């Protein structure tokens, strides 16, 4: 992909995504919501664009070939950001003719009612955003990691429809690598899957998802 919009580019996962794409042949268009974050995006190799998911985002997607959604409310405004912010960005992508959309979702979003009570609204918001994406007509991939850590990435994960929740975690860096690897990897187009740290190279894990 030539130009990829990264929503949440200033976040823990999003900075890794910017770094990875910023080193590549295409352009990482790094969406931040504060002017003060622009310099850091440039230093990671990103082309910053200032936009807030609770406001108009049409200018952010224009001219892009793909979107990676790595933003999140952190629990402050789950319906405003995690659901409606994502939905508005999906709508903007459709409107702008950006066909490819990779969503960072969460383990547990397949069954929010069974999740821990403090996370229930968050998981409902993520589930509704994922469902909207699936029905949007975009070429989508939905990646659902377990608990995120700041450990260095290993490049090795496991991926499947449903992994045992509570059975491990995954470094943000490996989540970012998975999102980036998925962008152009046709076997995972239209797929939703969970990821945790594991023993498979990311491309192999994605291949197994695509051929299951
Ligand atoms: N934490 C976990 O264990 C876990 C597990 C599974 C899935 N996830 C999902 O993974 C996502 C990313 O994780 P992370 O650790 O990278 O999160 P993070 O560091 O909190 O990053 C989230 C990013 O979203 C941005 N953002 C928030 N509201 C926004 C808005 N209105 N408009 C534009 N951008 C906005 C934030 O901007 P600022 O930098 O300006 O604050 C931040 O850069 C989480 O949000 C969650 O949905 C998390």
Token pair in block for residue 74: 């952190």
Instruction: Report how far residue 202's alpha carbon sits from residue 118's, in angstroms, rounded to the nearest whole number.
Output: 31
**Calpha distance 203→35 (Å, rounded):** 35
Name the phi and psi angles at 63, rounded to 5: 85, 0
Eight-class DSSP state of 197: E
Q: Which pLDDT value is given to residue 25?
A: 73
Report how far ligand 1's centroid is from the alpha carbon of 127 (Å).
16
Ligand 1 within 6 A of CB of 167: no
Fold of 3-210: Rossmann fold (3.40.50)
Note the pLDDT of residue 10.
98
24 pLDDT band, cuts 50/70/90, is confident
Range 62-74 average pLDDT: 97
pLDDT in tens, 134-163: 999 999 999 999 999 999 999 999 999 999
Q: Where are the domains of the chain?
A: 3-210
For 115-124, the CB contacts below 8 A with 24+ separation are: 121/78, 121/79, 122/73, 122/75, 122/78, 122/82, 124/78, 124/83
CA of 11 to the centre of ligand 1 (A): 5
What count of Cα atoms within 13 Å lies in the side-chain half-sphere of residue 176? 27
pLDDT class of 164 with cuts at 50, 70, 90? confident
Task: Evaluate: CB of 149 within 6 angstroms of ligand 1.
Answer: no
13 lines ligand 1 (CB under 6 A): yes
């Amino acid at each position: 992909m030539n130009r990829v919009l990264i929503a949440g580019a200033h976040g823990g996962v999003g900075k890794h995504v910017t770094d990875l794409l910023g080193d590549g042949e295409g352009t990482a268009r790094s969406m931040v919501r504060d002017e003060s974050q622009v310099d850091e995006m440039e230093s990671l190799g990103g082309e910053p664009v200032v936009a807030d998911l609770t406001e108009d985002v049409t200018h952010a997607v224009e001219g892009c070939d793909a979107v990676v959604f790595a933003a999140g409310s952190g629990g402050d405004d789950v319906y405003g950001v995690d659901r409606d912010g994502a939905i508005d960005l999906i709508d903007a992508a459709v409107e702008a003719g950006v066909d490819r959309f990779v969503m960072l979702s969460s383990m547990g979003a397949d069954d929010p009612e069974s999740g821990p009570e403090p996370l229930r609204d968050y998981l409902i918001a993520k589930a509704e955003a994922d469902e909207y994406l699936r029905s949007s007509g975009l070429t989508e991939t939905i990646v659902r990691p377990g608990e995120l850590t700041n450990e260095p990435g290993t490049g090795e994960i496991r991926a499947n429809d449903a992994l045992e929740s509570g059975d491990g975690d995954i470094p943000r860096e490996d989540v970012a690598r998975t999102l980036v690897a998925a962008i152009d990897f046709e076997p995972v187009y239209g797929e939703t899957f969970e990821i945790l740290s594991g023993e498979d190279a990311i491309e192999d894990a994605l291949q197994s998802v695509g051929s299951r």
